[in-house]
Amino acid sequence: MDRLARVSKKDWSDRAAATVAWDDGCPRLVALNSHARAAGLRPRMRLADARALLPDLVTEAGEPQADLRLVEAIASWCDRYTPWVAIDPTGGAIAPEIETACSAGGFGGDAGLLLDVTGCTHLFGEGESGERALLADLVTRLARRDLSCRAAMADTAGAAWALARFAERQADLFCPARGQRDALASLPVEGLRLEAPILETFLKLGLRRIGDLYPMPRGPLVRRFGDQPVRRVDQALGRLDEPIEPRRLPPAFRTRLAFAEPIGRAEDIAAATSRLLAALCRQFEQAGVGARQLEIALYRVDGSVDRTSIGTSRPNRDNPKLMKLFEERLGQLDPGFGVELMILSAPEVEAWSGTQDALPDQESPGVASGVDGTIDLADRLALRLGAENVVRLLTRDSHLPERVQVPAPVSAKPAGEGAWRRIANLKNARPTRLLQRPELVEVTAFVPDDPPSVFRWRRHAHRIVRADGPERIADEWWRPRPDGSRPPATTLPPVRDYYRVEDDDGGRFWLFRDGPYQLAANGQPTARWFLHGFCA
Amino acid sequence: MPVISPNVFASSASRVANDASAAVAAALREKVRRLERANSVQRRGRAAGVTLGIPAIDALLPEGGLLTGALHEIEAGSGPSGRVAPHDGAALGFAANLLGRFGPGTILWCRRASGGADAAPYAPALSSWFDPARLLMVTAARDEDLFWAMEEGLRCPGIAAVLGETRSVDPTAGRRLSLAAEKNGVPALLLRGQPASPQSVCATRWRIASAPSTSTPGLTDVGAARWRVELRRNRFGVPSVDEVPSWLLEWNDETHCLAVVPQALHGPAGARFEERLVG
């Protein structure tokens, strides 16, 4: 509802308004504003019935996608209070301990967010006053953005959910610790998040208040309605745990810095990042870990959030080096009208190995491992060019030329000393450049089984003067095919016959024929020739 | 086709004749070198120049070899028929040979991304010149990124040499690379598959074309790789009598040795000589 109020030109602030969606065969109301609620309209009411009650109702088509986007934006904004934020699956299961349910407009008119603020309220004050201050802060900040919301705080997710939706007095929205039994007693049973048929039966039986369920014997209740009502009551009262799944997994390491005045200058943001980083690196040292990934989030005054992250190829807690990586990225961040809060978190950490190895250059005594900076260089390059574009080459035991060389991330264990030389010694001369895909060439040969006398590649004929070969390379029958099947044992594996040839211009090429020379039924040779590389 | 510059003999003769004047000449030469490359710093424990191991070429180069803190360009040239080869296998081999002489440390190899027709350097062959485990391969989508990566590499203390494969270099990028190489004492190499319009910033520019090899007499097998090497630009170097000094080099993959092919053994006269040997 609020999303529409914010985008619509119509003046809705003092008139009853609703969004409408087609559901169950007729248009029905989805979200209502407070005036419409006061006039007795309810969500899921038929539009025709609503018009009969309230002829001057303003309606607008509902847009569930846009509503969802708004709720997600609010949810990510709520990260400022706690990392443990979940979007309430409508009527679904939710959270433990102290939590806040904030019911924003839109999203079926009943969208809710669940915030587990355990351990976060001390930032706003000691004990209960801190909790109250957090709640008030949340409501006023949302109200400043024209988002009406009802936020409640209670020990359990179920209680907060019920209070946020059904509490009648403003004072009831804050439920003191262990006070949920009394607070819920007078609320309607709708506050228990029950399935519609159960709810209907309860109402028919005259069980209208949650408190009516307290004295009921549990056994018959379970036999009659299944375990849902009992479970919901237990969850709301805190007798049963209710897991809440956060939108983003909260990082184990995180530091925050709030500013009295919004900041916007690049230097200020860099300085704040540096302070956050110093604090985070101290946390790393205590825990004995190093960061593989760091994320910085700017909470802007207009309520939006901008994030950027850096990755390192091995665990790192070196403040200046990490700062250097951040400097690349900070320029891309947009402070907007000002930043009021920055949070630096480490979503990915690894055990700190203590030393940083250099790329393999052991023969150099002067270049000690760690100080030579190659890893840091690789990190910087990977940040701008993408990690898959900064690789080193590993060997693979294979006969197929294209499989010998494997690109691997810089963090991978390097090929051993002389491993490449050993591989090269096992083979004949190899080309200095290898085509990623062998290219088909047309050949002319005097004798069918001989190396060709002329080959045409890219519309140019090369007359061959010298040739070496063949070197026969067979397919690796022990390796499963790309589709997972195994080659049949009865047939010979496909082979390639490689030739190193030199044309009359001195160019040296690496050609192969994909199989022995044979004539097919139509008199054409079955084998084709390919160019696979260029020799020195 | 002169191979050895006469300057070599001249300087050695004067050294024998008068030690004192030789010392003065050396001091002056050193002063000129400093003036010419005021910015250049030498890495501790590294030579100012790295010898190619070929006396005929080293004699022409300053410091007796390739300068470490400088930009060197290597481009593929045309073969005997005048047609530029469609690939730069020979130029790549020569560049790898140079890279193997700079060290120790990581070699940064920067390339432009190209689609399916990409022909990447093949490590088993490169292992003739250096251990490919030292390679750090970087693929950049744009030329700006490629030059940026090269510059970053030149500034990094663990890097032995930086090579970039490009089609063309604009003078600004070349100048920046040259300055970065000078400032950090790390060699920068540019490898081009095609001859391009000359840039004046590099210290040396080489043009490499693959040359016909020699078969075992009586057979038609492919012999040791031979390259026609032209030194098209030689800044700070010794002037040569030829406008473009040129050599025919042969790479012996068994002895790992790059050497000038003796004059008598190539050209028509050499061919006849070989025939006589066989007969």
Structure-block tokens of residue A186: 């007078």
The model's pLDDT over A103-162, given as tens digits with 9 standing for 90+, comes to 333 334 566 788 888 888 888 888 888 888 888 888 888 888 777 777 888 888 888 888
Do the Cβ atoms of B136 and A410 come within 8 Å? yes
3-state secondary structure of A248: coil
Instruction: Write a three-state SS string for A494-518.
Output: CEEEEEEEEECCCCEEEEEECCCCC
Residue A9 confidence (pLDDT): 40
* B144 close to A (CB below 8 A): no
The model's pLDDT over A286-327, given as tens digits with 9 standing for 90+, comes to 888 888 888 899 988 887 888 888 888 778 887 888 888 888
Q: Is the pLDDT of residue A193 over 50?
A: yes
* B145 close to A (CB below 8 A): yes
Is residue B68 domain-resident?
Answer: yes
CA distance A295 to chain B (A): 24
> What's the DSSP call for residue A111?
E
Do the Cβ atoms of B159 and A374 come within 8 Å? yes
Residues of chain B found within 8 Å of residue A536, distances taken between Cβ atoms: 89-90, 92-93, 125, 210, 225, 227, 251
A35 or B119, greater pLDDT: B119
Best mutation target, B222, B226, B248, B256, to test chain A (most A CBs within 10 A):
B222
Do the Cβ atoms of A433 and B89 come within 8 Å? yes
Residue of chain B whose alpha carbon sits nearest to that of A405: B123
Q: What is the CATH number of the domain that holds B53?
A: 3.40.50.300
Facing residue for B137 by CB, picked from A407, A421, A507: A407
Q: What is the CA A503 to chain-centroid distance, rounded?
A: 54
Residue A372 confidence (pLDDT): 65
Do the Cβ atoms of B158 and A367 come within 8 Å? yes
Residue A183 confidence (pLDDT): 84
Residues of chain B found within 8 Å of residue A507, distances taken between Cβ atoms: 79, 85-87, 89, 210
Is domain A2-62 in CATH 3.40.1170.60, yes or no? Answer: yes
3-state secondary structure of A128: helix
Q: Is the pLDDT of residue A65 over 60?
A: yes
Q: Is the pLDDT of residue A482 over 50?
A: yes
Residue B8 confidence (pLDDT): 47
Residues of chain A found within 8 Å of residue B158, distances taken between Cβ atoms: 358-359, 361, 367, 372-374, 377
Do the Cβ atoms of A508 and B86 come within 8 Å? no
Specify whether the CB–CB gap between A264 and A338 falls below 8 A: yes
Is residue B187 domain-resident?
Answer: yes
Tally of domains within chain B: 1
C-alpha A157/C-alpha A177 separation (Å) is 13
Q: How many angstroms separate the Cα of A152 from the Cα of each of A98, A114, A132, A162? A: 10, 10, 10, 9
A200 or B199, greater pLDDT: A200
Domain range summary for chain A, segments of one domain joined by + = 2-62, 66-237, 253-351, 357-372+381-427, 433-534
Q: Is the pLDDT of residue A266 over 60?
A: yes
Which residues span the domain enclosing B52?
6-278
Do the Cβ atoms of B225 and A508 come within 8 Å? yes
Could you please report the per-residue DSSP string of chain B?
Answer: ---S-HHHHHHHHHHHH-HHHHHHHHHHHHHHHHHHTTT--PPTT--SEE--S-HHHHTTSGGGSEESSSEEEEEE-B-TTSPBPSS-HHHHHHHHHHHHHS-SSEEEEEEE---TT-EEE-HHHHTTTS-GGGEEEEEESSHHHHHHHHHHHHH-TTEEEEEEEES---HHHHHHHHHHHHHHT--EEEEESS-----S--SEEEEEEEE---PPTTS----SEEEEEEEEEETTS---SSSS-EEEEEEETTTTEEEEPPGGGSHHHHHHHHHHHH-
Q: What single letter denotes the amino acid at residue A47?
A: L
Facing residue for A420 by CB, picked from B108, B113, B133: B133
CA distance B72 to chain A (A): 19
Best mutation target, A375, A377, A439, to test chain B (most B CBs within 10 A):
A377
C-alpha B202/C-alpha B91 separation (Å) is 17
Q: What single letter denotes the amino acid at residue B67?
A: L
Specify whether the CB–CB gap between B153 and B71 falls below 8 A: no
Give the mean pLDDT of A523-536: 84
The CATH number that domain A253-351 falls under is 3.30.1490.100
Residue B256 confidence (pLDDT): 83
Closest to A74 (Cα-Cα) out of A351, A378, A299, A365: A299
Residue B190 confidence (pLDDT): 92
Residue B162 confidence (pLDDT): 94
Mean pLDDT of chain A: 79
> What's the DSSP call for residue A421?
H
Facing residue for A374 by CB, picked from B128, B133, B136: B136
Q: Answer whether A2-62 and A253-351 agree in fold.
A: no
Task: Kindly tell me the sign of the dihedral angle through the C-alpha atoms of A144, A150, A156, A161.
Answer: negative
CA distance B162 to chain A (A): 12
Q: Is the pLDDT of residue A430 over 80?
A: yes
Residues 80-119 of B with CB under 8 A from A: 80-81, 83, 85-90, 92-93, 96, 103-106, 108, 113, 116-119
Structure-block tokens of residue A475: 């397919």
Is residue B253 domain-resident?
Answer: yes
Question: What Rg do the C-alpha atoms of chain B give, in angstroms?
Answer: 20
Q: What single letter denotes the amino acid at residue B213?
A: S
CA distance B76 to chain A (A): 11
For the ranges A210-224, A444-458, A517-531, the lowest mean pLDDT is seen at A517-531
Specify whether the CB–CB gap between B217 and B274 falls below 8 A: yes
Best mutation target, B110, B136, B192, B214, to test chain A (most A CBs within 10 A):
B136
A395 or B14, greater pLDDT: A395
Residues of chain B found within 8 Å of residue A390, distances taken between Cβ atoms: 136-139
Q: How many angstroms separate the Cα of A327 from the Cα of each of A130, A246, B123? A: 36, 30, 35
Closest to B11 (Cα-Cα) out of B226, B3, B21: B21
C-alpha A32/C-alpha A109 separation (Å) is 7
Residue of chain A whose alpha carbon sits nearest to that of B134: A360
Facing residue for B138 by CB, picked from A373, A381, A421: A381
Residues of chain A found within 8 Å of residue B91, distances taken between Cβ atoms: none
Specify whether the CB–CB gap between B209 and B79 falls below 8 A: yes
Do the Cβ atoms of B138 and A434 come within 8 Å? no
Residue of chain A whose alpha carbon sits nearest to that of B159: A374
The model's pLDDT over B90-129, given as tens digits with 9 standing for 90+, comes to 899 999 999 998 878 889 999 987 776 788 899 988 888 8
Structure-block tokens of residue B236: 């700070």
C-alpha A254/C-alpha A248 separation (Å) is 14
Is residue B1 domain-resident?
Answer: no
Facing residue for B121 by CB, picked from A366, A371, A433: A433
Give the mean pLDDT of A342-365: 65
Residues of chain B found within 8 Å of residue A419, distances taken between Cβ atoms: 133
Do the Cβ atoms of B212 and A465 come within 8 Å? yes
What is the spatial order of strands in the sheet that A17-23 belongs to?
A26-32, A17-23, A58-61
Residue A365 confidence (pLDDT): 39
Residues of chain B found within 8 Å of residue A431, distances taken between Cβ atoms: 89, 122, 125
Q: How many angstroms separate the Cα of B74 from the Cα of each of A472, B57, B207? A: 34, 15, 6
Facing residue for A420 by CB, picked from B89, B92, B132: B132
Closest to A531 (Cα-Cα) out of A517, A465, A507, B127: A507
A276 or B114, greater pLDDT: A276
Closest to A153 (Cα-Cα) out of A101, A194, A75: A101
For chains A and B, what is the number of CB pairs under 8 angstroms? 228
- All residue ranges of chain B with pLDDT < 50 are 1-3, 5-15, 38, 44-45, 266-279
